[in-house]
C-alpha cells in the first residue's frame, strides 16, 4: 500500500494498538446491586504501603460513579483521605468500626474481616 492511494484508509487494518478503539463493545457491564444485597468486607491493611495503615472496603458490585460518591462521603465522615482502586475503596488510617457503622446506616451489609 502506498500512502498516496486515496482508497487506503484505516478501515483496512488488521491490528491496531492505539486509536479509535471500541472498548464499549468488549467491556463487561458491572451489575449495579442495591445496597442491601451487597456483602462488603472491611479490613485494615499495611501491605505494600510503606507501613501506613489503610482501611480497605471490598466486595462492591457498583458503578464507578456510585463508588466515587461513597468514597467522598466516607472521607468526610472519617476526616481523612481515600481513593477507589480496582473496585475497592481505600480510606487512610484505621477506621474499621466507624466505616462498618456508616455503611450499615446506608443499608450495606458490612463485616470486619481479618485481624
Q: What's the CATH number where 92 sits?
A: 3.30.780.10
Query: Bigger pLDDT: 70 or 17?
Result: 70
> Is 105 a domain residue?
yes
pLDDT at 92 over 90: yes
Please report the sign of the dihedral spanned by the C-alpha atoms of residue 61, residue 65, residue 69, residue 74: positive
What is the number of residues in the chain? 115
> Is 29 a domain residue?
no
Instruction: Mark 35-47 as b/e (b = at least 16 C-beta within 10 Å).
Output: beebebebbbeee
Percentage with pLDDT > 90 across the chain? 57
Percentage with pLDDT > 70 across the chain? 72
> Is 22 a domain residue?
no
Looking at the chain, the number of H-run helices and the number of E-run strands are 3, 5
> Is 25 a domain residue?
no
The domain of 49 spans 35-112
The overall average pLDDT reported for the chain is 83
pLDDT at 11 over 70: no
pLDDT grade for 34, boundaries at 50, 70 and 90:
confident
> Is 45 a domain residue?
yes
> Is 58 a domain residue?
yes
Instruction: Tell if the pTM clears 0.75, that is, is over it.
Output: no
Query: Bigger pLDDT: 35 or 94?
Result: 94
Average pLDDT over residues 10-33: 63
> Is 8 a domain residue?
no
- What total number of domains does the chain contain? 1
Amino acid at each position: 500500500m502506498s500512502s498516496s492511494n486515496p482508497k487506503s484508509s484505516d478501515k483496512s487494518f488488521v491490528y491496531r494498538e492505539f486509536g479509535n478503539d471500541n472498548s464499549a463493545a468488549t467491556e463487561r457491564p458491572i451489575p449495579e446491586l442495591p445496597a442491601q444485597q451487597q456483602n462488603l468486607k472491611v479490613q485494615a491493611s499495611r501491605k505494600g504501603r510503606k507501613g501506613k495503615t489503610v482501611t480497605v472496603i471490598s466486595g462492591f458490585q457498583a458503578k464507578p460513579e456510585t463508588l466515587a460518591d461513597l468514597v467522598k462521603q466516607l472521607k468526610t465522615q472519617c476526616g481523612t483521605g481515600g481513593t477507589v482502586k480496582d473496585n475497592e475503596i481505600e480510606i487512610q488510617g484505621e477506621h474499621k468500626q466507624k466505616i462498618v457503622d456508616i455503611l450499615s446506616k446506608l443499608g450495606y451489609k458490612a463485616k470486619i474481616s481479618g485481624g
